[in-house]
Amino acid sequence: MSHIVIDKERCKGCYLCIDECPKKLLKVGKDVNSLGVHLVEFCDPNHECLGCAMCATRCPDMAIKEVYRG
Amino acid sequence: MTTLTQTFKVPESIKKGSKFSFCPGCDHGVAVRLVAEVLDELNLRENTIAVASIGCSVTLYDFLEVDSLEAPHGRALAEATGIKRARPDKFVFTYQGDGDFASIGMAESMHCALRGENVTAICINNTTYGMTGGQLGPTTLLGQVTTTSPTGRNVEYYGYPVKIAEHVALCDGTAYSARVSLDTVPNIKKAKAAIKKACEIQLKGLGFSFVEILSTCPTNWRMSPQQAHNRVREEMMPVFKPGVYKDITEKEL
């Protein structure tokens, strides 16, 4: 099952990844990290993630640190 | 159960546990990651000496797991020249901003290209001095409002912005000169290909290789990261046109 792994402490909340996801699986979440940033949340109830890594390619801070396709 | 293939991982050339000090949404992080990915792919990590410059690129050595030296403002390519001449077996690259490369370091940079030193230079163009508070830089676009040009850059007082990739391409010692952008994912992939090509040209010993990267500065442009990418597309790319301006390896084909 394709999925991504988010490094919570690296996310700075620029939300560039949200626009990039072709399936719109990313959204602004409720959790905050030590910077006080509302973290990006990966929400994929129907297993739509393609594992295309476009979000990770876009992320300037490597907060999306791993992407798996399968 | 299906097997998983990893399609993205943090490059090994990035220091473990390091966090970029750039502002949220700044494309500097993408540029550093692309450099690290290229170093990984060409297996250069153990054989590289990086030269960091002054500006937002100043803490490059905190992020890359390679030997590095810090150059005085603008003198990164002069320092890289010395390193490469003393240690021609090493892969030497500089990572500079536009203010460092094309303003205070214009003489050092252009003469390095004219001498055809076998080094690679990567220049981040964000049309402003990002680290010091958004002053007017050499690449500031006409009409752009900065902290030192509050009414916008006008030709009568400030003159025209410099198009670095074109100028470097005119130098006879240059083997490769390209301008790339980081505004979309396809452009990020093209940027990586250009950086890789520049590195390969140094490995072949063909001469000076240069990549100018159009980047954003959301903080000093006073924009959201998304708006900043729109500005790159709509305002910067018509003036600073992406493309390969010189590539001596093409003639061989």
Q: Is the pLDDT of residue B2 over 80?
A: no
Q: If you classify domain A3-68 with CATH, what class do you get?
A: alpha beta
Q: How confident is the model at residue B253 (pLDDT cuts 50, 70, 90)?
A: low
pLDDT at B1: 60
Please answer yes or no on whether B5 and A68 come within 8 Å at the CB atom.
yes
User: Does the distance separating the beta carbons of B5 and A66 come in below 8 Å?
Assistant: no
Whether ipTM exceeds 0.90: yes
Of A14, A51, A69, the CB nearest to B25: A14
Pick from A10, A16, A37: CB nearest B225: A16
Q: Where are the domains of chain A?
A: 3-68
Q: Band of the pLDDT at B244, cuts 50, 70, 90?
A: very high
Mean pLDDT across B29-41: 95
For residue B20, what is the nearest residue in chain A, using CA coordinates?
A61
| B20 touches A at CB < 8 Å | yes
Domains and CATH numbers, chain B: 28-252 (3.40.50.970)
Nearest CA in chain B to A70: B4
Residue B3: pLDDT band by 50, 70, 90 thresholds? confident
Q: What is residue B64's predicted lDDT score, i.e. its pLDDT?
A: 93
pTM: 0.94
* pLDDT score, position A70: 83
Q: Are strands B48-52 and B67-70 parallel, antiparallel or unpaired?
A: parallel
Closest CA to B194 of B174, B180, B208: B180
CA distance A61 to B27: 9
Nearest CA in chain A to B29: A60
Q: What is the distance between the alpha carbons of residues B248 and B237, in angstroms, rounded to a whole number? A: 24
Q: How far is A7 from chain B (nearest CA, A)?
A: 11
Judge whether residue A1 has pLDDT over 90. no
